[in-house]
Structure formats: structure tokens, C-alpha cells
Structure 1
């Protein structure tokens, strides 16, 4: 997270400016000849507008080169050109005087904040409309400001699946045409701004030098120093008030990383840093026109703010320990992940009704092999290595005849790892619709989910037929069973977690949507008997009938559940006492953290958080945003 000292450095720069203004250079003394605006415009502002015009022109050329022959490799230059244009814009986005104020140019370059999702709605509407005249330069310039600028381009390049949609698919041509229209529009706007400024003998700057001013922009040339100083002091305030504080919140639990500027491209911290560095350069230029003492104060403050900006992460809220690295791309949607205890192999099993499981090297990356379910069956999403890593067990479901709305019987397929994961034995799972399985203590625990909620089989059903089966891990012989009480018959037992000392829990999902508060977390006894954990009714209801993942912390003292429908991670003591919950929108992936009392959780919006639990409460202690859209499960290795 951004430390308070960095925010203080930014505010210090603003305070130094205010102190310097007391020497007679502030807006109240705007006509004071001690501050000459011409060197500031000529030496600081215009070179930055030159850079912006050049970057947007280069970006337009990149799109023109890409669209005639789109390719996956060609997307990277588009992203690079976008980043350079966005960097150049950040350097001047706090400037509110001059030609930028005409024709809504600032909003058209960067429509931020977008409080009503106007950008995404506008882009979707244009993409769906095949009329080519909408993208003609004159007409496009009259479109909503939301779709004309850098944030719109960011979505076309960085949203989930957007890069692929530029290369192939039914929308590829239209998306390319739209990206080209936006890039050309940006080049036109920034070119108009720079042309309007002119030089000492022409344009707006020429009018300032002559003392005549501009009737629309600077009717009183003497007010210009005050405008410059107001924008300069406002730059630091804008960074803290619009780029940092709304994102960070009062605490990590209050953070809102998805309101950050440029979060999709992972640039939200860079935006703030770019603005600070540019404002610091202007501050130093202003200080150069001051007496030695205030000049020293200003320069020192600018140096401190620069140093603070250098320490900002690329993405606000970023914890560098949770960077995401793609290891095994898959066209199919996978579900549970299991790492071998005896080497670098890991297996990701397809989500029900899964047809594939991928074997990959978790150290070097890359898919090594794949395998499918047994004849007439589908994967249910989970598999486990045996303790020696020689066998891999998969839960599989027999497919019923077409049109028959029942969950199939469960089979545990025992696969030889060194035999290409070929099936060498098969055991009954002890029920229908098995989902998770896990060795805990002396038994292999199988969660037979029965009828899975939110599936066609669940329509009009009120009883899942779910249960727990304990089997001998060597022979598959049944050693125990656990069944839910009749008042909990609508629950489907799905995900398992163990503490390493024989303690096992199972989390459930509810078939019914009747608003009743039913427990969704249970302790499994050595004979399979189920005991519900405790929580207030409101806490159970807050899970929205759905737990997607469950995990113990490293100490085994705490258990957490993640619910993408309830948008939270809830935590209990292992003895069943409810502690509390923290928010995580669309959060499902969950695993033990690095330290006792901690968990790591991930969301479908690319967030990763660290959750700290103690008997007195639970809190978020670190957060990273801007990652891929994480799916159901994660596993800690090592």
C-alpha cells in the first residue's frame, strides 16, 4: 500500500509552494512581475505538449500499421504506443488554462472518473453498430467524450479477452476501426492544442508576449501567473484527492482498486508518479524566479516529492509478492489445481462437465501432457496426488442418458503418474455427483455433492442427496459416511480443507434461494459425522448460499471461506467460532498464507489480498490489483 509518508511528501510540495507564494508570487499578486509566465510556458509547458502530440501521432500510426493485418504479436506495439501517449498526457493533465479548455478537449482525451460506466456502454454500442460513417473523423469527434480518448483505448487493449477480439472473431474489424478512430482523434486534438499555442511570435503564446492576450483564454494577461500557480498547487491536491485516496480508502479493507485511473493496464501508480514528477519540474521552474530562500524551500520539497513518486508501485495497492505469471494456457475452463509432492508436476482438472485435465511444469511453465476422463464420464473439477506422488486420483461422474435430469454416480479413477496418468483402478465414490476429494488423516475424504446447485438438474429440486464418504486410501473400501440432517437436505457438500493433523472441514452450497440462514461450513469427524460451525444468521445469509473455496491457515487455528456471490472472505476459529469477514468482490480463490493466521484470496477482477485473522477479528493487510481474472481455486506450494 502507499505509505502515509509518501502522501505527506506530495502535500509537502504543495505546502512549500504555498509558503513561497507568501513572498508575493501567489494568485493574489498575479500581476507581480517577479513571476514571468512566458519562460514557464516556453520551457515547461510547450515541450510537454510537443511530447503529447508526438506520442499520439505515433499511436495513430501504430493502429494504421496493425489493422490491415491483425496478429497477436501486433498487439504489443499498440500497448506500448498507448503507454507512451498516456505518460505524455499525465504530464499535462492538471493544466486547466489555455487551448486545452476549449471544445471539451480534456474530457475527450481522458474521460475520468467514469462514475456511470459510460465508457464501456458507449464502446459496446459503437461496436454493435456496423455503420462506418460513425467512425468518420468529423462525426466521431461529435460522439460522447467517454468513447473518444485514452480510457476507451485502454479498454480495447486491456479488458479480459479484448486483445484476442482485436485479432480474430466477428468484432475484430469493427474494434480495429474503432481503435483507429480513437487514436486518430487523439492525435487531432493534441495537434490542435499545440498549434493553438504557437510560439513567441504567433498563436496564444505570441498574444501573451505582445501583452494583448486572447479574448477567449487570457483577456487579462496579468492573471496568467495566478492561473499557472493555481494549477501547480492543484496538481498535488489532484493526485492525492482523485488518484490515491479514493483508491486506498481509510484502511486496506476500505480500498477500491477498481476506481483507480488506468487500473486495467496496471498503470494507476504510474499515473500519479508521472503527474508528481511533472508538477515538481514546474515547481522548480517557478522557484527559479524566486529569491534564494524560497527557491531553496521549493527545490527541496520538489526533490522529496520526486523521491516519493519514484517509490510508487506501477499499480496502486500493489504488493510485489503477488505478481501473476501465466504458466499453462488452456482453451478449456479448468477448476481445481494440485501440485505433486514429489516433483515439479502439477495438474489442473476441468470444471464439470470437464473433458480434459492438463499436466504442467509448475517451475518452468508449459503444458506437458493432458488426459481425459474414463469412458462415459466427465471430470467434476478436482483431483489429488497420493503422498508419494506416484498416483493421481480424480473424481469423475457417470454421464446419464440424454434428457435424464439426474446427477451421475461417482467414480474415483486411480491413475499412474509414470504411466501417462492412465487409469489402473476404479472405486465407487459412495454417492452421486462427487466434487472434491482429499486425503486427511488415515482416510480419503470424498465430498459427494449430489445435485449441484445452479445446474439444469437442480431445477425444481429441493434435496441434493449430498454426503461425505471416507474410504481406505489404498483399497477404496468404505470406512465411514456422513449425512446432513433433514433440515439441511438442500445443501450440496463440495469443497474440502485439512489442517494437516487429521482435522477436516467441508463447505457447502445451497440448492434453495429462500433466504433461510443455513450453515455452509462443517467439521468432519473421524467416522464421517458432520458438525456445523457457528455464526449469526446474518453472517450465513451474507454468504448468499454459496461457498466457492475453503482453507485452513498455516497454524490450523483458523478456517476461511470465500464466496464470489457474497463478495467476501469469512473466517472462523477452527473450533467453530465465527470471527468476521472482509470484502472481496467476486472472490473465490483461497489458500493458506505465508504466516500463521493469514490467508491469500483472489478475485475474478484480478485482485489478490492477504487476510489476517486473530481471535478478536479479521482484516485485509495487503492487496494487489491488475492481475488476470482469477477463477475458482488457488493452491499454496511450499
Structure 2
């Protein structure tokens, strides 16, 4: 197995090494939305569709998928990650409707449904479970051939979503704290002792340089997004009593501790102890957090973390941002949410998102979209 250092030396020696990076929205480009989905027969797929809801292509999966990310140097391509405790990642070519490459987890490992591509080092980083030890790990692969280069401890148990920090040197990790084993695929084995944290990993050294925990250890940190300025917003899932009232979102931007976003008790109660996707609109400084068990999409100020507004969207979970925020649901619907900031509010404490501006404009008969959504260049 090549070490990561050997790989980087080899990559630096050739001018043809591919570079993976962020693709900004442009009207001149053709954009597709991509999500994992299931049909009424409990068959699982990943599908690409245009912004008007027309299916471009769909590819059958061996089991249920979870997150999807673009492969920006390959138009029409995306990676789809198996849902925990799955063992596959597929690179899918939606132009031709086929699987281009497949990654299989190493022995005694499974994926947690998430990963990121790094532009700086041309690598894929995934969150995985070493179920022989119960430790979470971050596995680094060559982004071209997906060969494993390095493996590092995630700084906790149950690493879930990952985010690349703007400098490209660090990875932020949502260590959910929940121990699982594929012999009991969806059972949570350590609720009484779970210890979630938000960790920052130095990609070059593999060292966890910082990690932060919440006082309430049953608030599992699961999904996150990173702003262009490096502010991390994370959504939480509560593992305690159903009658408990708990906050469900946090922020971190270099402070000595994690900060809860600001909302009334009524808002936290309505969110029903569960969040799914987190999406940031840097232009409007707005955060969207989906709450599928509450049938809500909630909106927050990126600047100060205050609750702004919400809109009902039955089983709405997947979120991504282009010119607008797009949302998908487990009911097979696509919604385009046209959010504007109030003109008379310099503190960004309110937004306009009336029902006239938010339209569940497409329904996909017989499909249930999974919890995550992305966009790719077609």
C-alpha cells in the first residue's frame, strides 16, 4: 500500500494530476441534482435530475445509499455512499447511466455514509467504523484510483459527516458517539456511555488537533456544513427521552467551546429531536437545516446563529444550494425555496420565504428521496 507521502510525491512529479475543487454556480453551466432514492418495491437507486425535475438517469444500487458528492473534474459523475453499515461507494456516470468505479470497505470496516474530496491533495476522505475495535477512523484514498493511502483515528466513535476547512489543510469531523456493529446493523450499542464530539484533523499529519464536546452527551453530532469563512454549523440528533426539550444545532468558529444556535423552546420542540441535512447559503448568510421527523425546513442566521423562519415540507431532508436552496423529501418531492433577506433588517434576523416563494413544484411518482442531496455539472 502506498503511503500518503509517497502518493503526494508521485502526484507532484506529474503535471497531469487531476485537481478536484469547488464548482461555483453559473447560468452557462448545466446543473443536475443528485440523490439516493428508493421505490415502492424497496429497490434502491441513485438518480440525477435537472432543476425542473426531469430525470436524467438513475442507476440501481446494491443497497440503500446515503450521501452523494460531486466529482467536479468529471462532468456528470458523482460518488454515492452506502448507508451505515454499508461497504460500498460507487462512482456513477449519469451521462451514460452506469457505474464507473466501485470502492469496497476494507476488512472489519464499514462506511458511515459520508466523505469529501480534497482539492489540495487530490484525495478522497471517508468516515468509517473499525468494528473490530469500535473506533472511528478517517480513511484517505487516491481520488483517481481509490487506493487506500492512509488511515487515521477520527478522535471519537461513530464519525459521520465530514467537512473540508477552507484552507484545505484540516478536516472537521462530526463524531456522533454511537457505537454500532454490522451484526446488529441499526442497533445503537452504547447510548448510556456515548460521547459525541466535533473534531478537527490535520490532514497532513493525521493528528486530531482539537475536539469539542457538549455537556449533554446524548446529543449526537451528525451532519454539518462549513461556510466559506470557516464557520461550522452542525445538526444534532437526540438519543434521550422523547419528552426532553433539547437544542438541535450548534456552531463553531475558533471559539473555546461549541455554541448552540438561538431559538425559542417552541422551535426546538417542533424540530422533534432530529435534524438531517445542513446547507449554507454564503451569499445571503443563511443556514438551512432539515427536520424530516417534524416536516420542517428551518432557516438560521449564519452571522449570529439566530432562528429566522421555517417552512413545512413533509419528510423534507435533502438540501443543496445553487442559485436557490433546493430540498427533497421522503415523499418523493422537490422544492425550490426562494429565500430573500428582509430589506429593513441589517442584523439579518429575519428572512422572507412566504408560501408564494417556496413551491413543492415536482413530485416523483413512486420514489422516496434519501436524506441528502447534491448538485453536479452535467
Q: Report if the CA contact (8 A) 2:336-2:361 is conserved.
A: no
Describe the shift of the 1:556–1:505 C-alpha distance in structure 2 as closer, same or farther (beyond 3 A): farther
Alignment match, 1:379: 111
| Alpha-carbon distance in 1 for matches of 2:160, 2:115 | 9
| Alpha-carbon distance in 2 for matches of 1:388, 1:632 | 28
Alignment match, 1:526: 254
Matches within 5 A, 1:3-14: none
Q: Which of 107, 130, 148 in structure 2 is aligned with 1:398?
A: 130
Q: Report if the CA contact (8 A) 2:157-2:179 is conserved.
A: no
Alignment match, 1:449: 176
Q: Which of 302, 308, 312 in structure 2 is aligned with 1:579?
A: 308
| Alpha-carbon distance in 1 for matches of 2:208, 2:179 | 23
Three-state SS of the structure 2 residue aligned to 1:430 is coil
- Counting matched residue pairs gives 313
CA drift at 1:481: 1.1
CA drift at 1:388: 4.7
CA drift at 1:553: 1.6
| Alpha-carbon distance in 1 for matches of 2:245, 2:139 | 36
| Alpha-carbon distance in 1 for matches of 2:193, 2:319 | 28
CA drift at 1:618: 3.0
Three-state SS of the structure 1 residue aligned to 2:274 is coil
Q: Which of 141, 155, 159 in structure 2 is aligned with 1:430?
A: 155
Mapped pair 1:497 → 2:236: no
Query: TM-score of the superposition, structure 2-length normalised?
Result: 0.76
Alignment match, 1:115: none
Describe the shift of the 1:611–1:389 C-alpha distance in structure 2 as closer, same or farther (beyond 3 A): farther
Q: Report if the CA contact (8 A) 2:109-2:130 is conserved.
A: yes
| Alpha-carbon distance in 1 for matches of 2:128, 2:223 | 15
Three-state SS of the structure 2 residue aligned to 1:392 is strand
Mapped pair 1:480 → 2:210: yes
Three-state SS of the structure 2 residue aligned to 1:325 is strand
Higher normalized strand content (fraction of residues)? 2
What are the ranges of 5 or more consecutive residues in structure 2 without an aligned counterpart?
A: 1-37, 44-49, 342-349
| Alpha-carbon distance in 2 for matches of 1:458, 1:619 | 43
CA drift at 1:475: 2.4
CA drift at 1:320: 6.7
Matches within 5 A, 1:94-113: none
| Alpha-carbon distance in 1 for matches of 2:155, 2:92 | 30
Describe the shift of the 1:328–1:529 C-alpha distance in structure 2 as closer, same or farther (beyond 3 A): farther
Describe the shift of the 1:560–1:441 C-alpha distance in structure 2 as closer, same or farther (beyond 3 A): same
Higher normalized helix content (fraction of residues)? 1
Alignment match, 2:371: 632
Deviations 1:472-509 (A, max 9, x none): 12222222111112xx2210001111122212111110
| Alpha-carbon distance in 2 for matches of 1:567, 1:539 | 13
| Alpha-carbon distance in 2 for matches of 1:484, 1:463 | 13
| Alpha-carbon distance in 1 for matches of 2:189, 2:299 | 29
Describe the shift of the 1:382–1:163 C-alpha distance in structure 2 as closer, same or farther (beyond 3 A): closer
Describe the shift of the 1:162–1:428 C-alpha distance in structure 2 as closer, same or farther (beyond 3 A): closer
What are the ranges of 5 or more consecutive residues in structure 1 without an aligned counterpart?
A: 1-158, 165-318, 402-407
CA RMSD of aligned residues (A): 2.5
Alignment match, 1:212: none
Deviations 1:419-467 (A, max 9, x none): x2111111110100100111123321011001179942257x3453000
Three-state SS of the structure 2 residue aligned to 1:540 is helix
Query: TM-score of the superposition, structure 1-length normalised?
Result: 0.46
Bigger relative contact order (CA 8 A; separation at least 6): 2
| Alpha-carbon distance in 2 for matches of 1:549, 1:532 | 17
Deviations 1:558-613 (A, max 9, x none): 0011111111101111121111211111111111141xxx4111001111112233
| Alpha-carbon distance in 2 for matches of 1:347, 1:320 | 19
Deviations 1:340-378 (A, max 9, x none): 233334211111101111111244432111111122111
Alignment match, 1:161: 40
Alignment match, 2:317: 588
In our comparison, the structure showing a higher alpha carbon Rg is: 1
Q: Report if the CA contact (8 A) 2:230-2:253 is conserved.
A: no
Matches within 5 A, 1:193-592: 321-344=52-75, 345-388=77-120, 390-400=122-132, 408-418=134-144, 420-442=145-167, 443-451=170-178, 455-457=186-188, 461-485=191-215, 488-526=216-254, 529-555=257-283, 557-574=285-302, 575-592=304-321
Moved over 6 A (4+): none
| Alpha-carbon distance in 1 for matches of 2:105, 2:284 | 34
| Alpha-carbon distance in 2 for matches of 1:382, 1:343 | 19
